[in-house]
A and B are shown apart, each in its own frame.
Chain A
Amino acid sequence: MTAFQDGKGLATAEKHYSHYGARAKELKAEGKKIIGYLSALCPVEIMTAAGVVPIRMVGNVSESITKGDAYMETIVCPFVRNVFDSAIKGRYTFLDGMVLPHQCDSIDRTNDVWRDNLKLPYWHFINFPHVTDDPSIEFTKEILRLFINTLEDFTGKKISDETIVQAIKLHNENRRLMRDLYDFRKSNPPLISGAEMMKVLVAAMSLPVEESSALIKDVIEEIKKRSPVSSGKSARIMLIGDQVDDVAIIEAIEGTGASVVMDELSIGAKMYWEDVDITPDPVQGIAERYLRKLKIPTTFVGEGNTYQENLDARFGQIKQHISEFKVNGAILFIYKYCDPYGFEVPAMKSYIESSGAKVLYLEDEYSTSTLARMKTRIEAFLEMIA
């Protein structure tokens, strides 16, 4: 993509996207502790406050699973299997530890497999509940305090409330900047393409928060200088799913002339749309943000008086994105063997369709091996929208 030659922001994003984890390796060489984690459910504020470098783990969609299947069943989430395969093949040898938040069965049920085979010095499973009522918030505060204690033991340093508040501010600033960048997708055509955005999102989660914010700022400065050049009417697509962290599917969509203008992905809008409130006990704000504000299908939302109210609470943000980003087609890109997302499909599909946007549901692997088949379906969908 020539766009990455625009200036230092996008070029840096491209570098970190293509050489994922390169910065973490450098920091490791400087003596920093590097902790890998899975899922948007991991409270990165606490890791930042502990002085360790959090890096969200990714797999490799272009690489077949060659070793992981000897340890992990093929009925496990394809994303989790792929990342595990990468890890067992040595991609993450620079890690000092890992954090697995309890997002879903595929993570919970393989916790032993990860821990016992990777044998990292630090290991922690954060037992997040699936329910969001008041007792669940109190429980979440307890498990977050446990998490804090284990990091204190690992680093040998006390984590004060003030340090946590500082980390919350840094991550909130990071989220605000990313939301500012998303604003450039609202114009027609968007000033930043879906593929460019994906690379920034991936790069951002591989860096310490200050560096991530600096990168986003640089990208914003570059994008600001662009002027919209209309290429005529084209479909404006929103991509919905969990961890889609490769440009392959985005390029398949944008290669047809459509624009991916918004996402509801766990490395994208899901992660950046809601801040942590600064509360007298900072753990309270973190608990509320990850349990109630973060919209992922593994937290049960059902306190509404009617089914419609429940749908609004679960998917209302999607409708808002559709309106603000003028989306006219949504692609639900759901991984096979994913119960949390899979059971949402009929409800989410009809909810989105009620906003006037068309929906394409794709069930796929975390792999480019099926991309040709997906492309055919995407092209047919985009033709229908046109």
Chain B
Amino acid sequence: MAEGKKPRALATQAAAKIAKFVKGNLSATLKAKEEGKKVAYAYIADGQDEIMRAMDIVPGWGESFAGVCAAKRDAEQYLQKAESDDFSRSLCTYATCTIGFDMIREELKGEPVPGAPWGGMARPDMILGSGQLLCDPRFKWPQATQHYLQDVPVFVGSMYYPPFDPNVDHKSQEKFYVKYATEELRELVKFCEKHTGKKMDWDRLAATVELSDRTWDLFIDTYELRKAIPTPMDTGDAMNTMVPFTFNLGTQEAYDFYKDLYDELIQKIAEKKGVADEEKYRVIWAAGLPSWFALGDFQYFNDKGVVFPVEVTYRGGEKIERLELPKTNDPLEHIAWRWVRYWTHWYDKARKRPGSVPKVERIIEYIEDYKCDGAVFHSAFSCRSWHAGIIHQAETLKKVYKDFPVLIMEGDIVDISSYNEADTHNRIDAFVETLEASKKRQN
């Protein structure tokens, strides 16, 4: 039932600043031309942030643009435009939403699209994709976009990490994975130099990488403050506060944002200010991108006394010292080590628990550290990369904890046609009852 629904209330002041960040990123692409800068379509977690920042390339983030369209419930026209040229509705809707927007902008000869959220994105000068284990659209989306922007050069690099095998120590493979990732980053630098007409300033890159490392550390330090009871911030806010880390890595603004957030959370903890009026249940957002058009559902959880002190989604980093990165003077190799070690960080733990997998070990670590009573997953129909394998994770989790409430929600990231609010809230209600029963049994 939809009664009692409140608009999403942000728990932190920092999260309220995020709209400005997102808008700033979009408008940076629109202003780039007059500032003599190049715009690159870019995709998150590709390890390319520092190279773009060090070369003054302005990233145009398709995932962010599509997320904004979804949050404003304004994506349908772009999805339909893409569909009109035979892009299936079952494909990644971040991609199809943005491609639909690109198609309309091309029909307008590159001029801004009237009514596009916050002015939309500028026509890019290049597209920087990445073939990797993270998702297929990261290399298919650039290729599909080029069909409509045929003069725009596309680079697709590679950022691989060893796959998990319970019987193999992945560390024996790390070196050649890092070598490969480093070489691919070097190819990206060459490509960017060619298309910007500028040489890489390697000292600037090294400083940018160092700033990113500090941001990774501060980001994790800040998020770990959420272990406090009551938690001062939950996933509803984190789906906003992830923006600087995800889209502005390698900038001072991102670092400063987390400094402010850190200070704010310290203050809230001192004042024992929680997210919910009464924090009854602590739940992990264990996997899945959110429905950007339905972030108000976090409020629905909060109103029932359910808070999310931790989430896997968009927590795309770890304390650098925990990754034990080998020393190198090559900033590209450092980036490669950082990503390879991050993606394989939970492998050793998983090998120690027969039948487990790294994704589950990560969830277990967070459940223990943040004292969670249950787990929520979100399965988005248009995204295989994040959402295939969720059943296996949930089942493995249940085997480890026996009596542990798990909810798998279903929907999409962008396509609102998949969403039914009443049904979603009914499922949440049932989950809360399960949490209650489980807690009673444990007491």
User: Which positions 325-369 of chain A face chain B at CB distance < 8 Å?
Assistant: 334, 336-337, 339-340, 342-347, 349-350, 361, 363
Residues of B within 8 A of A342 (CB): 87-88, 90-91
Number of A interface residues at 8 Å Cβ cutoff, please give it. Answer: 54
Residue interface mask B347-359, A partner, CB < 8 A = 1 = 0000000010100
Q: 1/0 contact trace for A103-117 toward B, CB 8 Å? A: 011101111110010
Q: CA separation between A129 and B154, bound complex, in Å?
A: 17
Shortest Cβ distance from A70 into B: residue: B391
User: Which of B87, B91, B165, B385 has the most chain A CB atoms closer than 10 A to its own CB?
Assistant: B91
Size category, B interface: 35 or more
Contact partner of A129 (CB less than 8 A), chosen from B131, B162, B381, is B131
B residues near A350, Cβ cutoff 8 Å: 147
Q: Are B384 and A300 in contact (CB under 8 A)?
A: no
Segment 236-256 of A: residues with Cβ below 8 Å from B? none
Of the listed stretches A134-142, A176-184, A195-203, A268-276, chain B binds A134-142
Candidate in B136, B156, B177, B379 with the most chain A CB atoms within 10 angstroms: B136
Binding site for A on B (CB under 8 A): 85-88, 90-92, 95, 129, 131-133, 135-137, 139-141, 143-144, 146-147, 150-151, 154-158, 160, 162-165, 173, 176-177, 180, 183-184, 187, 355, 357, 379-385, 387-392, 395-396
Contacts of B382 in A (CB 8 A): 75
A selection of 19 A-B contacts at a CB cut-off of 8 Å is A75-B90, A75-B379, A76-B388, A104-B384, A109-B388, A110-B388, A127-B162, A130-B139, A130-B156, A131-B158, A133-B187, A135-B158, A300-B129, A300-B131, A342-B91, A343-B140, A344-B144, A345-B87, A346-B86
Q: Are A102 and B184 in contact (CB under 8 A)?
A: no
**Contact between B389 and A113 (Cβ–Cβ < 8 Å)?**
yes
Q: Provided the pairs A135-B183, A345-B86, A347-B144 are in contact, do residues A302 and B156 lie with their beta carbons within 8 angstroms?
A: yes
CB distance from A33 to the nearest CB of B (A): 17
B95 and A307 within 8 A (CB) = no
- Taking a contact as CB atoms closer than 8 A, the residue among B87, B162, B355 that contacts A343 in the complex is B87
A73 touches B163 (CB 8 A): no
Assess A344 versus B140: contact at CB under 8 Å? Given A73-B390, A106-B388, A123-B165. Answer: yes
Main secondary structure of the interface of A (DSSP, over half): mixed
The reply to whether A112 and B140 contact each other, CB–CB distance below 8 Å, is: no
- The main secondary structure of chain B at its interface with chain A is mixed
A120 within 8 Å of B by Cβ? no
CA–CA, A75 and B380, complex, Å: 8
Cβ–Cβ < 8 Å partners of A336 in chain B: 88, 90
Residues of chain A lying within 8 A (CB to CB) of residue B381: 75
Residue contact B156 to A339, C-beta cutoff 8 Å: no
> In the complex the two chains form, what is the Cα distance from A239 to B380 in whole Å?
31
Contact of B392 among A112, A310, A337, A346 (CB under 8 A): A112
Task: Report whether B389 and A110 are in contact in the complex, using a CB–CB cutoff of 8 Å.
Answer: yes
**CB pair A136 B158 closer than 8 Å:** yes
**Residues in chain B near residue A77, CB distance under 8 A:** 384
- B157 near A131 (CB under 8 angstroms)? yes
Known: A71-B391, A129-B131, A135-B183. Contact between A339 and B384, CB under 8 A? yes
Chain A residues whose CB sits within 8 angstroms of the CB of B395 once the complex forms = 71
Q: Judge whether B156 and A116 touch: CB under 8 Å.
A: no
Pick the residue among B144, B150, B388 that contacts A75 (CB under 8 A): B388
Contact among B156, B180, B387 for A138, CB-based, below 8 A: B180
CB–CB A142/B176 < 8 A = yes
- Tell me the complex Cα distance, A255–B136, Å: 36
Q: Which residues of B contact A298 (CB under 8 A)?
A: 136
